[in-house]
Amino acid sequence: MAHENYENATAIQNKVIPAAMKGMDILGASKSGTGKTAAFVLPLLNKLQKVVKKDGKVIRALIIVPTIELADQVSRTIVSFSKYLDIQTVKVQGGSKKGEQLARIKQGVDIVVATPGRLQDFINDKKINLEHVNTIILDEADTMLDLGFLPEIKAILKSCKAPKQMMCFSATISQNIKKLSKEFLRDPAIVEVSNRRDVVNFIKHRAYKVDKKRKAELAAKLIKGMGVGQVLIFVNKKDTADKLFEYLKEQGIWTAVIHGDIKRGGRAKALTLLKSGKSQVLVATDIAARGIDIPELPLVINYDLPEHTDDFTHRVGRTGRANHKGQVITLLTIHDYNAFSTIEKHLKLNVKREIMEGFEITDKQPRQARPRKKSLREKKGYVDYDKKRKFTYAAQKKKKQEGKKKK
């Protein structure tokens, strides 16, 4: 592994690799950037190199991922790690010509890295043979379930007839992930290196309160003022991504954009521009950004606050990867205060709300209930008997009134 500059195994690699080498099924939870891909690729290659043949190849391993970008990332990792092995890999994914993918499969492959929709198409059309598959890996399974791929995943797994080792990886082990693993995994080793509540030590969090109409203006000021070479900005909707992309270009900021309506070639080009330094900013929606791996990305901006804590975790995981420092800035309008407080509570964060000079808030602030201070007697655990008597009297009065109505 010298050509990949690997010196020490990460926490998840230390736990997953020994269990995988024993042939155990695995249910793993780990944040992005912790070395999860290598944790399943290395034992897989070790297993395959003992059985693969130069001629008459058959598909022996199947890796299912939610997005094209993640399929690209996983495939690159496999190709790099198998540089000196006679192991062939093919991507089966949307956004590319089916004919080219089928031609590669006919030439003979050992590993298929696939998105669920395109793979299910090939199965339905009887264009792919999975009867020899003995290793199946679901990567970012939580995202696939969120995208509604559960029926496809179940159908794919049932198409693989041979006894198999299964590994399922997710950012968190949710109830849906538990149900899926219970149906398809056999007595799995549970590997939970970290949960979503962990605070990443290498990430600095900041939050700026801002009027809704001035969010784009503040984002541009932060990008210009901080002098950061690479910035990933997350938005919630495709039209917001397009509008912000146009605004930042008007401000003289080299910007690219990716979302679900942009074809694979355009998404790949946008990512390449950012990685090569030809673009400073990449504006992205959550789904389009799954699987994006930008080494040493210094800054993530939450232009819009995500609806769920897990989405916030995925966004944060784009920076602070592989022990490199990163920074996350979240922009908050008056409608985001409570939701951000909930995310802070889940992740055990305490982020100071700042106001940029020149961006003073004019939007009407929401009324927030002030917590009632407890008396010294209450703090010590004494009962307030006056209040107790009032409560008892009210309950008795209500009970009498209900009794009269029944009569």
DSSP string, 236-300: SSHHHHHHHHHHHHHTT--EEEE-TTS-HHHHHHHHHHHHHTS-SEEEEEHHHHTT---TT--EE
Determine the 3-state secondary structure of 359 from DSSP: coil
E strands along 143-239, which residues? 165-170, 189-192, 203-209, 231-235
Same domain, 83 and 169: yes
At residue 373 the predicted structure's pLDDT band, cuts being 50, 70 and 90, is low
Asked if residue 48 lies in contact with residue 73, where contact means CB atoms within 8 angstroms, the answer is no
- Domain end, chosen from 134, 161, 192, is at 192
Structure confidence by residue, pLDDT tens digits, 299-349: 999 999 998 887 888 888 788 766 677 899 999 999 999 999 999 988 888
Q: Which residue has the higher pLDDT, 50 or 289?
A: 50
CA distance 135 to 63: 8
E strands along 10-88, which residues? 26-29, 61-64
Which parts of 277-384 fold into alpha helices (H)? Answer: 286-289, 309-316, 337-347, 376-379
Distances (CA, A) of 386 to 371, 377, 390, 392, 393: 21, 13, 6, 10, 11
Q: Buried b / exposed e across 18-55, counting CB within 10 Å, b at 16+?
A: ebbeeebbbbbbbbbbbbbbbbbbbbbbebbeeebeee
Percent of the chain with pLDDT strictly greater than 70: 83
Same domain, 96 and 225: no
Residue 395 lies inside a defined structural domain of this protein: no
pLDDT at residue number 383 = 46
Same domain, 9 and 91: yes
The answer on pLDDT for 172 being more than 90 is: no
| 363 φ/ψ sector (left φ>0, alpha ψ -120 to 50, else beta) | beta
Q: What is the CATH number for 136?
A: 3.40.50.300
Same domain, 99 and 233: no
- Total domains in the chain come to 2
Same domain, 66 and 101: yes
Same domain, 41 and 79: yes
pLDDT at residue number 305 = 95
Residue recorded with tokens 């029926």 = 151
CB atoms within 10 A of CB 198: 12
Determine the 3-state secondary structure of 382 from DSSP: coil
* Phi and psi angles of residue 325, each rounded to the nearest 5 degrees, phi first: -70, 145
CA distance 154 to 119: 12
CA distance 119 to 78: 19
- Domain end, chosen from 192, 217, 246, is at 192
Q: Which residue has the higher pLDDT, 242 or 289?
A: 242
Same domain, 144 and 235: no
Asked if residue 64 lies in contact with residue 205, where contact means CB atoms within 8 angstroms, the answer is no
pLDDT at residue number 29 = 86
The answer on pLDDT for 217 being more than 60 is: yes
Residue 225 lies inside a defined structural domain of this protein: yes
Residue 209 lies inside a defined structural domain of this protein: yes
Asked if residue 283 lies in contact with residue 235, where contact means CB atoms within 8 angstroms, the answer is yes
Range of the domain at 275: 203-354
Comparing C-alpha atoms, which of 92, 91, 93, 96 is closest to residue 78?
A: 91
Residue 343 lies inside a defined structural domain of this protein: yes
Same domain, 23 and 119: yes
| Mean pLDDT to the nearest integer, 109-125 | 94
The answer on pLDDT for 125 being more than 60 is: yes
Mean pLDDT of the chain: 84
Residue 67 lies inside a defined structural domain of this protein: yes
Same domain, 94 and 236: no
Q: Which residue has the higher pLDDT, 31 or 407?
A: 31
Residue 136 lies inside a defined structural domain of this protein: yes
Structure confidence by residue, pLDDT tens digits, 173-215: 888 888 889 989 999 999 987 644 444 556 899 999 999 999 9
Lowest mean pLDDT among 6-20, 79-93, 283-297: 283-297
Distances (CA, A) of 169 to 188, 306, 380: 12, 22, 47
At residue 388 the predicted structure's pLDDT band, cuts being 50, 70 and 90, is very low
Q: Which residue has the higher pLDDT, 3 or 213?
A: 213
| Mean pLDDT to the nearest integer, 18-24 | 95
The answer on pLDDT for 37 being more than 60 is: yes
- Domain end, chosen from 141, 163, 192, is at 192
Percent of the chain with pLDDT strictly greater than 90: 51
Same domain, 181 and 300: no
Same domain, 219 and 278: yes
CB atoms within 10 A of CB 146: 19
